[in-house]
Amino acid sequence: MQRRINIWSSIDWLTVTIYLVLVFLGWINIYAAVYNEDHQSILDFSQRYGKQLIWISAALVIAFIVFVIDINFYSYFAYIFYGILIVVLIGVLIFGKEIHGARSWYELGNIRIQPAEFAKIATALALARYLTSYNLQINTVKSYVRIAAIILIPSVLILMQNDTGSALVYFAFIFVLYREGISESIILLGLFVIILFILALVIDTLIIILLSIGVVFIIFWFLNRKIKHTGIAFIVLLFASSAIYGLNEVLNAGLSYYYILLISLGISGLVYIILAISYKIKNVALLLIFLIGSIAFTYSVDYVFNNFLEQHQQKRINVVLGLESDPYGVEYNVNQSKIAIGSGGLTGKGFLRGTQTKFDFVPEQSTDFIFCTIGEEWGFLGTLFVVLLFIFFLYRLIGLAERQRSSFSRIYGYGVVSVFLFHIVINIGMTIGLVPVIGIPLPFFSYGGSSLWAFTILLFIFLRLDASRLELLQ
């Protein structure tokens, strides 16, 4: 049964108000960031704040259009949107304009559009559509593969544009999957892969192999709860490695520790399998596969890093991981950013009174580092207000998502939450030195039409779904 209701009265005005406040705060901080005695008119369209005013007006029109479109439109065309965005993402690799080393922009006359911003919306829709397919079992290999494809295809395409930040956003959809019941072990496995990836670049392979072995022993004990089995397994490995080590010394074969360890692992692995079969111990094969997988993964990360990445890409990753210093680049920006925010003190220097942010010391002042301006001019009270507002905004969105009767709306709602959460955490986190510098915009604050429009569409589709929540059945 469907009831027609007035969508204007059922729209969540609280969220709309937060949206408007955020956009307004964003704009006045862009004004402050590029403020300059020579250009004081707020309507100076040669300046960024003038342009942003145009983007904001357009965003409001877009929000209105998004809101009046029929509700079924979004779920019905979810896959088609997704398909179109994939084509557009491939297109930008070929026809795109390269700016600051990233080939991720379409240039239409004076306007530049960054399709990666919009791909998030299409992915959130497609994911919601897929997860609401008839009779879907989420915890099956088939589903995993399809979900991974939906999320990773746009991510990889964006990575190829050299826009690492926007590509990483897609990992945020893990929250959606978590909420929708994906197995915890998959989440843990995912976390393990990420940690392994970072470790593979940071520390010696030998230590990683040892750590992986440790992890596997712990899981084995955890699954079987038999200290005896774990002990025997450990002794087998110890025995095998001492034997190989001894042989190596006696024969003077000159094997490196890697090989000694790998060979003893191979031998112990055979012993484990024999023991597992004769005593009917579970999970052994699975754990061995896991271990081999981890080792192979570690080696391939190293190999890909050294053989496929270009020097500047290697350098970027090394800087992010703190293995290499780059005084004129990333490191410098973070220092500048922290100085700007720190110099704001409790109450800030006052609107337009910032000095650090106006010296252009922090590049990308009005885009990725806009939070510095807030910190410097409005102080701790200002940043606290913005952080709380964002937290409240996310909290509110979860509330809205949970009150949906249709799974599609709820899942999409969590997609929206995930994307915003990731952007907020990474952007603010990098300006205060908590996370590595990954260039992605702060929603509604950062200068730029593409990101503002994309965030607006992302949010208002959800508000549209929410406004009609009573029309939709489960």
Partner 1 sequence: MDSFANRRHIIRFIIILIGLIFTIKLFILQVVDSSYKLTASSNVLRYVTQFPARGLIYDRNGELLVYNEATYDLMVVPNQLMPFDTTEFCQILNLKKEYVQEAIKRARKFSIYNSSVFLKQVSSRTYANLQEKLYKYPGFYVQARTLRKYPSDIGAHLLGYVGEVNEKIIEKDDYYKSGDYIGISGIEQSYEEYIRGKKGVNVYLVDVHNRIKGTYANGRLDKQAVVGSNIISTIDADLQAYGEKLMKNKIGSIVAIEPSSGEILAIVSTPSYNPELLVGRKRTENYVDLMSDSLKPLFNRALMAQYPPGSTFKVINALIGLQEKVLFPYTKYDCEGAYYAGRLRVGCHFHKTPLNLIESIQMSCNTYYCNVFRSILDNRKYPSIRESFDLWREYVMSFGFGTYLNSDFSNELKGLVPTKQTYDKIYGERGWRSLTLISMAIGQGELGTTPLQMANMTAAIANRGFYYIPHSVKEIEGDHVLDNRFFEKQYTKIDSNYFELAIEGMDLAVNGEAGTGSTARTAQISNITVCGKTGTAENPHGEDHSIFIAFAPKEKPEIAIAVYIENGGFGGTWAAPTAKLMIEEYLNDSISVPWWEEYILNAEINYNNAEKD
Catalog residues that contact partner 1 under the rule CB under 8 A. 36-38, 175, 178-181, 327-329, 332, 335, 338-339, 341-346, 349, 353, 355-356, 358-361, 375, 379-380, 383-384, 387-388, 390-391, 394-395, 398, 402, 407, 414, 417, 421, 425, 428-429, 432, 434
Q: How far apart are CB 425 and partner 1 at their closest, in Å?
A: 6
Classify the C-alpha dihedral 351-63-399-185 as positive or negative.
negative
Q: How far apart are CB 472 and partner 1 at their closest, in Å?
A: 15
Strand pairing category for 102-108 and 97-99? antiparallel
Q: How far apart are CB 163 and partner 1 at their closest, in Å?
A: 18
Question: What does the CA dihedral 92, 98, 104, 108 come to, rounded to 10 degrees?
Answer: -70
**CA proximity to 209, closest of 246, 180, 248, 237:** 237
**Pair of tokens at residue 68:** 């009046």
- Give whichever of 163 and 180 is closer to partner 1, judged by the CB atom: 180
**Pair of tokens at residue 48:** 């960024």
- Give whichever of 260 and 341 is closer to partner 1, judged by the CB atom: 341
Classify the C-alpha dihedral 144-168-187-412 as positive or negative.
negative
d(CA 161, CA 95): 11
- Give whichever of 58 and 432 is closer to partner 1, judged by the CB atom: 432
Residue type present at position 33: A
d(CA 103, CA 94): 9
- Give whichever of 276 and 372 is closer to partner 1, judged by the CB atom: 372
In the beta sheet, which residues pair with residue 138?
none
Q: How far apart are CB 411 and partner 1 at their closest, in Å?
A: 11
Q: How far apart are CB 319 and partner 1 at their closest, in Å?
A: 13
As a whole number of Å, the CA-based R_g of the chain is 26
- Give whichever of 155 and 333 is closer to partner 1, judged by the CB atom: 333
| CB within 8 Å of 257: residues ≥ 6 apart | 206
- Give whichever of 125 and 386 is closer to partner 1, judged by the CB atom: 386
**CA proximity to 32, closest of 371, 463, 324:** 371
The answer for 106, left when phi > 0, alpha when psi is -120 to 50, beta otherwise, is beta
**CA proximity to 373, closest of 48, 114, 17:** 48
**Pair of tokens at residue 125:** 């829709």
- Give whichever of 242 and 325 is closer to partner 1, judged by the CB atom: 325
Q: How far apart are CB 37 and partner 1 at their closest, in Å?
A: 6
Q: How far apart are CB 180 and partner 1 at their closest, in Å?
A: 7
| CB within 8 Å of 393: residues ≥ 6 apart | 15, 18, 22, 420
Classify the C-alpha dihedral 376-379-384-386 as positive or negative.
negative
- Give whichever of 204 and 360 is closer to partner 1, judged by the CB atom: 360
- Give whichever of 82 and 361 is closer to partner 1, judged by the CB atom: 361
- Give whichever of 257 and 380 is closer to partner 1, judged by the CB atom: 380
d(CA 360, CA 369): 11
**Pair of tokens at residue 280:** 């009917």
Q: How far apart are CB 413 and partner 1 at their closest, in Å?
A: 11
d(CA 118, CA 177): 21
The H-assigned helical ranges of 161-283 are 164-168, 174-179, 184-202, 205-224, 227-251, 257-279
Q: How far apart are CB 285 and partner 1 at their closest, in Å?
A: 30
Q: How far apart are CB 359 and partner 1 at their closest, in Å?
A: 5
In the beta sheet, which residues pair with residue 105?
97
- Give whichever of 293 and 329 is closer to partner 1, judged by the CB atom: 329
Residue 169 has what DSSP assignment?
A: G
Q: How far apart are CB 207 and partner 1 at their closest, in Å?
A: 29
- Give whichever of 95 and 395 is closer to partner 1, judged by the CB atom: 395
Q: How far apart are CB 133 and partner 1 at their closest, in Å?
A: 16
d(CA 267, CA 53): 68
Q: For the chain, first and last CA: distance in Å? A: 11
